[in-house]
Homo-oligomer: A and B are copies of this chain.
Amino acid sequence: MRYIRELHEGETIRAIYLCKSKRTAETRNGKPYDNLLLQDKTGTLDGKIWDPNSNGISDYDEMDFVEIVGEVITYNNNLQLNIKQLRKAQEGEYILADYMPTSEKDADAMYTELLGFVNKIQNNWLRQAVEFYFVKDEEFIRRFKNHSAAKSVHHGFCGGLLEHTLSILKLCEYYLSAYDILNADLLYAAAMYHDIGKTKELSAFPENDYTDDGQLLGHIVIGVEMFDEAVRTIPDFPPKLASELKHCILAHHGELEYGSPKKPALAEALALNLADMTDAKMQTLKEIFKDKNTTEWLGYNRLFESNLRKTSLS
């Protein structure tokens, strides 16, 4: 397959890409043309169909995989594709994994590492609640391993949810070594559960967009409900403990204005909130710095409310 990142000016290609978006416009003299955004896992490419009504151009829609024939040109210092032929590709002609941004880390290896944390949970009730999804629910495991942790911002790629959750677990492991007021069982279980609502808040790749439940309830409340579903299958689960874990999920954004209906009231809820914020900020910066081989200023970033650059030592 010809990956987008490897194309260069002047070549004529035949390849299958995901059509992420499609918009019809019109030239000054009134001729309609199509703007496409083509995507594979290495990036995106603007495409133009200057003659959408020609025979070579079949019907297609957003989110279709399309085989195109076209010429790579340069426009305003960016590559662009003048598309001569286009047809919808059939399942089997392409491998899904080629078309989605994906964690650089191996999903299976990460999941094995996550299971190591499951095994550290001594408390029988919490252990069962965690195993309900992470060990026994095959369908959940498959979705969790491939899900992103966000529509945009940080960890917005296949495996991002798993990578983020594992990163949090390790931060929590460090916190447990440093602050003896923390209970490992509650903290590990809460870390695993904290974002599982995202498996229902966002649809799976390649769409990766907010679902109806995502809009109406959000991943925090969905996560509480998913935990509750597990608890109902475990006879005599202590109600106080269940409420404590739910509280950790509810409070993990740390502030009401960030969507947590409760502020952290337990040490474990506070630690989870700190781990979540730390990983979110560091990973966001990592994604900003990625592929920037410079110590020059990168421009003002609205999230960090600052211009950003790498240290001169890097």
Contact = CB atoms under 8 A, between A and B. Distances in A.
A215 B309 CA distance: 10
Interface stretch (A54-62, A86-94, A269-277): A269-277
A127 to B, nearest CB: 12
A240 B224 CA distance: 18
A266 interface: yes
Contact of A312 (B180, B217, B240): B240
A26 interface: yes
A281 interface: yes
Interface residues of A, number: 80
B289 A267 contact: yes
A267 to B, nearest CB: 5
Contacts of A261: 218, 220-221, 250, 259-261
A46 to B, nearest CB: 12
Contact of A181 (B180, B243, B289): B289
Interface string A192-222: 0000000000000000001011011110110
B178 A170 contact: yes
B267 A310 contact: yes
A311 B26 contact: no
Contacts of A293: none
Interface of A: 24-28, 30, 73, 75-77, 123, 167, 170-171, 174-175, 178-181, 183, 185-186, 210, 212-213, 215-218, 220-221, 224-225, 228, 238-241, 243-244, 246-247, 250, 256-268, 270-271, 274, 277-278, 281-283, 285-286, 289, 297, 304-314
Q: Which 9 A-B pairs have the closest CB atoms?
A: A216-B247, A263-B306, A174-B174, A261-B261, A216-B243, A179-B282, A265-B306, A183-B313, A256-B257
